[in-house]
Structure 1
Amino acid sequence: MAASDPRERLLELSAERGVSLAQLSALIGRNSAYLQQFVRKGSPRKLEEGDRATLARFFGVSEGELGASEEKSSNMDWIDVPRLALGASAGPGALAQDEQPIGAFRFGRAWLRRQGLDPRGLSAISVDGDSMEPVLRDGDEILVDSAPRPLRDGIHVVRVDGALLVKRLETGRPGLIVLKSDNPAYDPIELTPRDVDVVGRVVWKGGRL
């Protein structure tokens, strides 16, 4: 078989992961001999779309490696992250009212996986104001990860009294969350945890030079 043959690739991946074809068959809800027959006897001729998608997610590869068409594989290699019609204020505070997508940013699936990011928890918004300069500038686009995680220091988007802010959080003082600006012209804000709704952690930025 050619190196691009999905049967050979499935054998390579199963060997690398240390799982048997019978175990993989169980993973996709098939009888234990299903993938053995696919690899050795060519039956079925190709994997069904749902089975292929499950196996691709398990191995962390594109569906193209397991037999998807070039167009299908190309589409599956990218994730469209919704861009929301609101801004996170890096200044006095912007009211968060409209959260309808107005577009999307496209990220490579493999890149997101390497960053440990689940696409289902991601959204993109813009930065308003100058309080986070020079790290974040007015008009920058930021990627916000809202997946549940233990809170730790870093740049986050938060809601305070209905306003959406992007600030650097410090959590080392018991009973307090400190919202800090990178621009020294802005004073820190000290709040109790119940007064801060942490929307998500900022994990990427993009903007004009």
Structure 2
Amino acid sequence: MNKLTQFVIFLTQGINNCKRSNEMLSIEEFSEDLRSQSLIGCTHQGDAMEPTLRTGDKLIVDPSDVIPRAGVFVIQDQFGLHVQRLEPVLTNKTTFKLICDNEKYTTQEVGLEDFQVVGRVVSAFRKM
């Protein structure tokens, strides 16, 4: 049976940490097109992406998809790891808007040199 090692990544505005967990996630429940990819399972924390993502949501991240473009990505900057929506600035090919879906946080415009894309969020799961 295919398994994914789960990396528990606490993604917040500000203080961040990353630790490896021994918990395994079954890949059988994911769609067929995701099975051949190298994926990372993450647990989201923080309110920056609410209502889209909430604390405790399980994210599936594709670490091979690191080309910055419009979409939701795990990024790393000087403050740590974050899940944010990226949007290219049309007037400058090397500048991106880092957008939090929660309106209480401001949008930032940063250059490519100020952040690194860790991977694209391809799916999210929430307990009902």
Could you tell me the TM-score, scaled by structure 1's length?
0.54
Question: Bigger radius of gyration, 1 or 2?
Answer: 1
Distance in structure 1 (CA, Å) of the matches to 2:106 and 2:123: 25
Task: Tell me which of 49, 59, 63 is aligned to 1:132.
Answer: 49
Q: Does the 8 Å contact 2:67/2:117 carry over to 1?
A: no
Aligned pair 1:180/2:96, yes or no?
no
Could you report, residue by residue, the CA deviation over 1:129-165 in whole angstroms, capped at 9, with x for unpaired residues?
A: 1111111011111000011454321110001114110
Select the structure that is richer in strand: 2
SS at match of 2:31: helix
Matches within 5 A, 1:13-32: none
Select which of 30, 33, 37 maps to 1:119: 37
| Higher RCO structure, 1 or 2 (CA under 8 Å, sep 6+) | 2
Native 8 Å contact 1:88 1:125 kept in 2: no
Whether 1:80 and 2:6 are equivalent positions in the alignment is no
Q: Which runs of 5+ in 2 are unaligned?
A: none
1:201 pairs, out of 116, 120, 123, with 120
Q: Percent identity?
A: 26
Q: Distance in 2 between matches of 1:110 and 1:87?
A: 22
TM-score of the two chains, using structure 2 as the length reference: 0.85
What is the distance in 2 between the residues matched to 1:109 and 1:135? Answer: 21
